Structure 1
Amino acid sequence: MTNCLFCKIIAGSVPADIVYQDAKYIVFKDINPKAKVHLLLVPKLHVVSLDTIDSSNPEHIAMLSEMLLLLPSIAKQAGLAIGFRTTINTGVGGGQEIDHLHFHLLGGF
C-alpha cells in the first residue's frame, strides 16, 4: 500500500526505531508511547485490521499464530520478563489509527 505509514517503514522510506525484524515481521518503538516500553509488532504483509482477516486463508491464520508466539520473546528482549500487555485496536471505533494490522506490546508500568 503506497499510502500506508507502516508499509513505508517496512520499505525503509520512513524512519523508525526498529528493535526486531525478520522476513515476515517488524517491531519498532511507538512514537507516542503509553508505557515505559511500547512496541508495535507489524506483519510485513499488508492486512488492514483484525476484522479483515480471512479465516479461510491459511496465510492469515499462520500470521496471527506466529505473531502471538513472537510476542513473549520480543517482550523478554525489551526487558519485560515479569509481564507485559498486548492490544489490537480494530477500526476507528476501536482506536485504530493506522490501517495496517499491528499488536501493541506494552510494559514497564
Structure 2
Amino acid sequence: MQDCLFCKIVKREIPADIVFEDDQVLAFNDINPQAPTHVLIIPKRHIATLNDLEEADQTLVGRLPVVAAHLARERGFADDGYRVVMNCNDQGGQTVYHIHMHLMGGRRFTWPAG
C-alpha cells in the first residue's frame, strides 16, 4: 500500500486533476485518456483487486457506479451513453493494483472492447 500510486493520490502526495470527492470515493481525470472524458473512480480505502473484495465491501464498491452516473449526467453524456470498466489482474488489463472504475464518455464505443 505504501507504494500504491492511487493511495498516494488520495493522500495528496501525488497531484491529480480531481473531479469528485466524498468521504469514501475519489475521482480524477485519467492522465492517458481513451475518450473525451476518461475519469478514474477509486475507493479511498486500498483494495488491490476485485478478487480481494469481501462481503463488507459491497456498499463501498457500490458507490463507484453511483458516482460514475453522477459524473456522466454532470458532463452531459448520460443520455447518449458511456462506458464503465473495471479490470482485474494482468490478463484483465489491470495496471494499478488499487481497484478503480474507468468512466469513459463523449464518443461512441465499439464491441468487443479489445
Q: TM-score, normalised by structure 2?
A: 0.88
Q: CA deviation at 1:79?
A: 2.7
Q: Distance in 2 between matches of 1:19 and 1:45?
A: 18
- After superposition, residues 1-109 of structure 1 pair within 5 angstroms as 1-55=1-55, 58=56, 60-81=57-78, 82-109=80-107
Q: CA deviation at 1:67?
A: 1.6
- CA RMSD, Structure 1 to Structure 2 (Å): 1.0
Q: Distance in 1 between matches of 2:99 and 2:14?
A: 18
Partner amino acid, structure 1, of 2:101 = F
- Offset from partner CA, 1:66-93 (integer Å, 9 cap, x none): 2222221111122323221100011011
Partner amino acid, structure 1, of 2:44 = K
How many residues are paired up? Answer: 106
Q: Distance in 1 between matches of 2:17 and 2:67?
A: 18
Contact 2:25 2:63 in 1 (8 A): no
Structure 2 unmatched ranges of 5 or more: 108-114
SS of residue in 1 equivalent to 2:35: coil
Q: Percent of aligned positions with the same letter in both sequences?
A: 38
Q: Distance in 2 between matches of 1:23 and 1:99?
A: 21
Structure 1 unmatched ranges of 5 or more: none
Q: Distance in 2 between matches of 1:51 and 1:2?
A: 20
Q: TM-score, normalised by structure 1?
A: 0.92
